[in-house]
């Protein structure tokens, strides 16, 4: 990559859930753009290999545990003396089924990871940014399921909607210090988590390629075009960079227009 267009030179970033999927794609893109990246995840082998390949650092981090998140932030401070970016991306699909029969212990666990994990991240990242007087950028991963009903399970949708509310209130407070807080809300990205979800309903033989085709045909106005992890990484790169310096409290939905228009009407234009 041409060094003249690298957008993150000298920036220090922590990415939770960074060992695979959207997090891994973002870690690679950040590094290509000149950032120093700390990957925080529970997938130790994958995370450590990726960190080594991009000249970054890896730390085991269960975001449901506040001490783990604090340690990940502290690693960035110890390594490079500052924190510019947090991409709070860790999460999982959790329990599904009727609301009348939900296992509440499973729901509480999902909330502790998907929602409280973001609370932990914003809390400790903002502390570090304030201490270092960094006008940083915090990006959380929400979902199209937070803005449109019926796309995911009740607990997952709840957790992702909560992230958007948290992002907006945090942006109000932290904006006073020049710290920006935003969300990305992907739709239909054929990650391991989405493929696993499809396998529950369509059978264990469902492949990532089949999911990508289904999403491209049914989950986008851009027919035949499914989102990729690289699409989301590019959006996160933009929000993290100085190019987005006047954007905060924003939920950037990456859905090919799905949640904004009814794609069943596309026959009008055929």
Q: Encoding tokens for residue 89?
A: 């991306």
Q: Encoding tokens for residue 212?
A: 């990508």
Task: Summarize pLDDT for 22-79 with one digit per residue, the tens.
Answer: 999 999 999 999 999 999 999 999 999 999 999 999 999 999 999 999 999 999 999 9
Task: Summarize pLDDT for 80-91 with one digit per residue, the tens.
Answer: 999 999 999 999
- As to burial, measured by CB atoms within 10 angstroms (0-12 exposed, 13-18 middle, 19+ buried), residue 137 is buried
Would you call 247 helix, strand, or coil by DSSP?
Answer: coil
Contact 18, 56 (CB under 8 A): no
Q: What is the mean pLDDT of residues 213-221?
A: 66
Catalytic residue among 156, 198, 258, 269: 156
The pLDDT assigned to 212 comes to 64
Task: Summarize pLDDT for 140-191 with one digit per residue, the tens.
Answer: 999 999 999 988 889 999 999 999 999 999 999 999 999 999 999 998 777 6
Phi-psi region of 102 (alpha: psi -120 to 50; beta: other; left: phi over 0): beta
156 has catalytic annotation: yes
Indicate whether 113 pLDDT > 90: yes
Q: What is the residue-averaged pLDDT of the chain?
A: 89
DSSP 164-193: HHHHHHHHHHHGGGT-EEEEEEE-S---HH
The pLDDT assigned to 189 comes to 78
Radius of gyration of the chain (CA): 18
Kindly list the structural domains of the chain, giving each domain's residue range(s) and its CATH number in brackets, ordered by start: 3-187+228-257+261-265 (3.40.50.720), 190-226 (no CATH)
- What proportion of the chain, given as a percentage, has pLDDT over 70? 84
User: If you ran DSSP here, which 8-state letter would residue 143 be given?
Assistant: -
The pLDDT assigned to 221 comes to 78
pTM here is 0.91
Indicate whether 101 pLDDT > 60: yes
Indicate whether 198 pLDDT > 90: no
The pLDDT assigned to 262 comes to 61
- 75 phi, psi to nearest 5 deg: -60, -45
Question: For residue 198, what are the contacts with CB-CB under 8 A and spacing of at least 6?
Answer: 206, 210, 211, 214
């Amino acid at each position: 990559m041409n060094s003249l267009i690298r957008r993150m030179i000298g920036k220090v970033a922590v990415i939770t859930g960074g060992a695979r999927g959207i997090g891994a794609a973002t870690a690679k893109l950040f590094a290509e753009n000149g950032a120093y990246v700390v990957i925080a995840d529970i997938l130790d082998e994958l995370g450590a290999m990726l960190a080594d390949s991009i000249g970054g650092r890896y730390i085991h981090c269960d975001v449901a545990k506040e001490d783990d998140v604090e340690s990940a932030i502290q690693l960035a401070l110890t390594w490079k003396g500052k924190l510019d970016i947090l991409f709070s991306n860790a999460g999982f699909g959790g329990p599904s089924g009727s609301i009348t029969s939900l296992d509440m212990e499973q729901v509480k666990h999902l909330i502790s990871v998907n929602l409280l994990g973001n609370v932990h991240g914003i809390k400790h990242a903002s502390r570090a940014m304030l201490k270092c007087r960094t006008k940083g950028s915090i990006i959380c991963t929400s979902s199209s399921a937070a803005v449109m009903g019926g796309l995911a399970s009740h607990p997952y949708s709840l957790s992702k909607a909560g992230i958007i509310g948290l992002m907006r209130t945090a942006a109000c407070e932290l904006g006073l210090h020049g710290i920006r807080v935003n969300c990305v809300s992907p739709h239909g990205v054929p990650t391991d988590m989405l493929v696993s979800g499809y396998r529950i309903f369509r059978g264990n033989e469902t492949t990532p390629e089949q999911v990508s085709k289904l999403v491209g045909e049914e989950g986008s106005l851009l027919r035949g075009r499914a989102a990729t992890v690289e699409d989301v990484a590019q959006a996160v790169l933009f929000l993290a960079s100085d190019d987005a310096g006047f954007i905060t409290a924003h939920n950037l939905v990456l859905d090919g227009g799905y949640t904004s228009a009814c794609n069943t009407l596309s026959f009008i234009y055929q």
